């Protein structure tokens, strides 16, 4: 029997809602920057790009038309067989932010600009950023309603879980409600505890616990297909935490949303630089990076029709 190398889905999160150019001037904020960064990350080996939007002043926003501009620009450069676009539904970091603010991403008028995936955060948390403080009311009722809306649009939900109870909620309430398509896709958000009360810290033991809980909760819920899990980790934990998660058989997420530095006190030059490092690690571990179409097959996404773009040899 021929040996087949494991395919790892690699997600890059380029911008986020928090850090800006004041912290690292290389962080992309405006649509043209985000589009070019996504193209560079695609050529570097990324399977999925996780997208946040900023307004003209560089402030995080949930404007559906800015997301549409970014999504259409990424597809124009990468082709329809190119990188998977995954938009964020997290509320913008601003005064008086409300949970529903994040749903502006679903208000894009042109369906050709819609993403293939959209994040759905599944934890009750309080986040503090500078002088701002937010209470995210991602209640079960709200999650079921929002997941159904995402599903009705033909978009796949990417479930972000910040703590163990969120994992249990996914498989005890959302999945039985029929609002999540198989295979269920989850991201373990590790290390947000410094800014978010209610989020779990990033340790080896916690990654083990969260991943094992995903598997056991899915089995108890009777999921029809194997779940897909990705590990992301914040700040200085990013490299060690995500690689450890990958060794536990999860996908891996990198990018300047989660860590603006390449190494200690060394700002990242670009998101592509972070992707290139993960690609090297994957290859050194005798694995391969999943192409976007291979990731689509794993995630149950239809391959898009249209033009293709050939990227470098990953």
Q: What is the CATH number of the domain that holds 170?
A: 3.20.20.70
Quote the DSSP letter at residue 138. -
**What mean pLDDT value characterizes the chain?**
94
Q: What's the confidence (pLDDT) of residue 312?
A: 47
Q: What's the confidence (pLDDT) of residue 123?
A: 82
Domain that holds residue 129: 7-299
Distance CA(257)–CA(186), nearest Å, equals 18
* 308 in a structural domain: no
Tell me the per-residue pLDDT of 206-218, one tens digit each, with 9 for 90 and over: 999 999 999 999 9
Q: What's the confidence (pLDDT) of residue 298?
A: 97
* 162 in a structural domain: yes
At residue 313 the predicted structure's pLDDT band, cuts being 50, 70 and 90, is very low
What value does the CA radius of gyration of the chain take, rounded to a whole number of Å? 18
What sign does the dihedral 11-15-18-23 (CA atoms) show?
positive
DSSP class per residue in 227-250: -EEEEEE-GGGHHHHHHHHHHTT-
* 314 in a structural domain: no
* 310 in a structural domain: no
Among 74, 70, 36, CA closest to 54: 70
* 109 in a structural domain: yes
* 304 in a structural domain: no
* 291 in a structural domain: yes
Can you give the pTM of this predicted structure? 0.95
Q: What's the confidence (pLDDT) of residue 307?
A: 52
* 138 in a structural domain: yes
The domain total for the chain is 1
Stretch 141-147: mean pLDDT, rounded? 97
Which position has the token pair 């978010």?
Answer: 196
What sign does the dihedral 83-233-196-57 (CA atoms) show?
negative
In this structure, the number of other CB atoms found within 10 A of the CB of residue 26 comes to 16
Which position has the token pair 């701002």?
Answer: 132
Stretch 158-183: mean pLDDT, rounded? 97
Q: What's the confidence (pLDDT) of residue 314?
A: 56
Among 182, 255, 257, CA closest to 223: 182
Quick one: what percent of the chain has pLDDT higher than 70?
96
Q: What's the confidence (pLDDT) of residue 45?
A: 98
126 or 52, which is more confident?
52
Distance CA(136)–CA(126), nearest Å, equals 6
At residue 195 the predicted structure's pLDDT band, cuts being 50, 70 and 90, is confident
């Amino acid at each position: 029997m021929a040996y087949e190398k494991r395919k790892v889905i690699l997600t890059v999160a380029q911008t986020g809602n928090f850090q800006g150019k004041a912290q690292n001037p290389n962080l992309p904020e405006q649509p043209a920057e985000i589009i070019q960064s996504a193209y560079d990350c695609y050529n570097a080996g990324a399977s999925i790009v996780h997208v946040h939007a900023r307004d003209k002043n560089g402030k995080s926003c949930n404007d559906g038309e800015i997301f549409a501009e970014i999504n259409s620009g990424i597809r124009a450069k990468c082709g329809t067989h190119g990188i998977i676009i995954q938009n964020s539904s997290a509320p913008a970091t601003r005064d008086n932010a409300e949970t529903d603010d994040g749903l502006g991403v679903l208000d894009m008028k042109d369906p050709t600009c819609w993403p293939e995936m959209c994040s759905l955060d599944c934890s009750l948390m309080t986040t503090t950023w500078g002088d701002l403080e937010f209470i995210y009311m991602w209640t079960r009722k709200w999650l079921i309603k929002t997941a159904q809306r995402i599903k009705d649009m033909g978009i796949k939900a990417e479930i972000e879980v910040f703590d163990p109870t969120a994992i249990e909620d996914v498989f005890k309430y959302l999945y039985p409600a029929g609002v999540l398509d198989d295979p269920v896709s989850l991201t373990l958000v590790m290390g947000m505890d410094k800014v978010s009360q209610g989020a779990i810290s990033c340790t080896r033991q916690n990654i083990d616990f969260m991943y094992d809980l995903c598997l056991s909760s899915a089995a108890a819920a009777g999921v029809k297909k194997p779940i897909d899990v990705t590990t992301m980790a914040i700040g200085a934990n990013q490299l060690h935490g995500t690689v450890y998660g990958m060794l536990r058989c999860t996908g891996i997420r990198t990018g300047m949303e989660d860590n603006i530095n390449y190494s200690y006190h060394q700002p990242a030059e670009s998101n592509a630089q972070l992707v290139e490092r993960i690609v090297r690690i994957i290859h050194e571990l005798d694995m391969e990076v999943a192409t976007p179409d291979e990731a689509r097959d794993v995630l149950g996404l239809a391959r898009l029709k249209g033009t293709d773009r050939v990227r470098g040899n990953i």
